Chains A and B, each alone.
Chain A
């Protein structure tokens, strides 16, 4: 990848709400050049989506998150992908990864209540053909999400003026 595109992606990943004029100044380009690059990155699906990171707990919304280890039987020709697709199509599933090790899929599920998530696991997830077993871990407290520390207490302790 060209260095200039990488620099743009780094900046957008830091803050995708930056005005295009600001990005252009920082990357020493014209607004038009930056706009064209962003469009290209979007068209190529390198930029998949823009979305904020929300602290729902602070917003007063109760959410329950579970990480479920799923063992499955891979299928001829499609391997793990067909079952994975059956799982990730559920809107309750927010993350899904194929893993190495003791189990095959790591599924992150979000719901409003413990009951809702449990019901999803028992009635939807574990009943899919090819799913051998599930182990559900409920998340107790988030500390860091998508590279962001949720309650970062580090402050700027610098003097206002220094040589």
Chain B
């Protein structure tokens, strides 16, 4: 008897992670330089770690409100207001979650009925489509191209919108491409959302890692605040991935609905992480700025290096990823990544792990030391010579 037959169809409908298999190979090798890591190489700044320890000393080990500590929610809405001039009520319009991943899942489950379609620009973060499928929805990938700098356009969206479309799910700055969306183009997307009465889930976890111009918060666009579920967190800008702490901001109806799921499944985010997050928002700006400056230097270094190797690559302006094309080698993304790992012990992530339109590309993370990046570039150069 196969236990696999007893699984829920929704779970069976989700394909295994493209990254998982690759991880298994890479994890067993020694001396690997990894550009495959989707998290900062900085350790959480000391003052944030120290505040968590102080909280433990004082005995903060209990549950919190389902919505999260009010003090944290107040800091969150203050930060969002200071950055983007969007106002939220910390009591009814903010929910603290276990990372943006949970917030995303809650938002999708709170909104979708079986068969509802969700437009998702691709390449995109690996969870987006899976979460929609698990919630019984229908993910509708919207391909983007290097020629368009991996920005989604209204023209593409118009082709794929149907009467069943309920949600548009965007994530800019983008993982895996490093693409950003300038205000003008986002405004056109906002008009599209209004025209078709769509709800927009905007994952802005990389917002603080924007290297050219300023990030535009989707909820700050005219008439978009209530139509948008804004997701953000602490993992990337404050180097707090393992703390698992994020948040959602939206109108009271959406937040209450998300909280209904959250309270019965998660109860609350860990109090230790919430205390650390308060410290991050209150005193973390300087340290964050210096990390962002360092990423920016590495971004220039890897962009210059990949160009010198002759790989086609658009300039990423956000997050900490670069997404070069490897089409000219004649290899698929997976072949390229596997062969590169075997031959030169450099781990990158095949682009198709982020959707079909990522085929022909690899994701390189520059959240790695300068010496690692330089060595990796040298090895990639040696590897691709045989295909040139």
Contact = CB atoms under 8 A, between A and B. Distances in A.
A163 B128 CA distance: 12
Given A10-B293, A163-B125, A25 B27 contact: no
A163 B127 contact: yes
B304 A161 contact: no
Given A26-B297, A27-B300, A158-B39, A163 B26 contact: no
Interface string A1-30: 000000100110001001000100111100
Interface in B351-388: 353, 370, 374
Chain A interface size, as a band, is 10 to 19
Contact of B297 (A11, A154, A162, A163): A11
Given A18-B370, A160-B36, 4 more contacts: A27-B297, A162-B36, A162-B38, A163-B127
Contact of B43 (A154, A160, A162): A154
A156 interface: yes
A139 interface: no
User: Max chain B CB contacts within 10 Å: which of A10, A26, A154?
Assistant: A26
A162 B19 contact: yes
A161 B126 contact: no
A51 B175 CA distance: 40
Contacts of A27: 297, 300
Contact of B37 (A10, A18, A22, A162): A162
B37 A158 contact: yes
Nearest to B41: A156
A22 B290 CA distance: 19
A59 interface: no
A95 B284 CA distance: 32
A25 B304 CA distance: 6
Interface in A115-163: 154, 156, 158-163
A11 B290 CA distance: 11
B201 interface: no
Interface of A: 7, 10-11, 15, 18, 22, 25-28, 154, 156, 158-163
User: Max chain A CB contacts within 10 Å: which of B19, B301, B305, B353?
Assistant: B301
Contacts of B17: 163
Interface residues of B, number: 31
B23 interface: yes
A57 B115 CA distance: 68
Given A22-B370, A25-B305, A154-B43, A161 B297 contact: no
A28 B304 CA distance: 9
A105 to B, nearest CB: 31
B363 to A, nearest CB: 9
Contacts of B297: 7, 11, 26-27
B26 to A, nearest CB: 4
Nearest to A29: B300
9 contacts: A22-B370, A25-B300, A26-B297, A154-B43, A159-B37, A160-B37, A161-B27, A162-B36, A163-B353
Contact of A161 (B37, B125, B290, B370): B37
B27 A159 contact: yes
A127 to B, nearest CB: 44
The 3 closest A-B pairs by CB, nearest first: A26-B297, A161-B36, A25-B304
Nearest to B371: A15
A124 B36 CA distance: 59
Contacts of B293: 7, 10
Interface in B127-175: 127, 175
Contact of B370 (A26, A28, A154, A162): A26
B381 to A, nearest CB: 14
A18 B347 CA distance: 24
Contacts of A11: 297
Nearest to B372: A156
Contacts of B27: 159-161
Contacts of B41: 156, 158
A161 B43 contact: no
B137 to A, nearest CB: 20
B243 to A, nearest CB: 13
B215 interface: no
B338 to A, nearest CB: 12
